[in-house]
Amino acid sequence: MTPDQHLIEHMMNPKNYGKMEKSDAIGIRPPIAVVIGLSDRAKIVLKRVYDYIESIGPEIVVLIDGGFVYPLLRFELPTRLNVKPRFRVMHIVELLVESIEKGRLKLKYVEDKVTWHPPCQMTRRGGLTIEHLAYPLCTIVH
The predicted model scores a pTM of 0.65
Lowest mean pLDDT among 5-19, 86-100, 111-125: 5-19
- pLDDT, one tens digit per residue, over 96-116 is 778 877 888 777 777 776 666
How many alpha carbons fall within 13 Å on the CB side of residue 24?
14
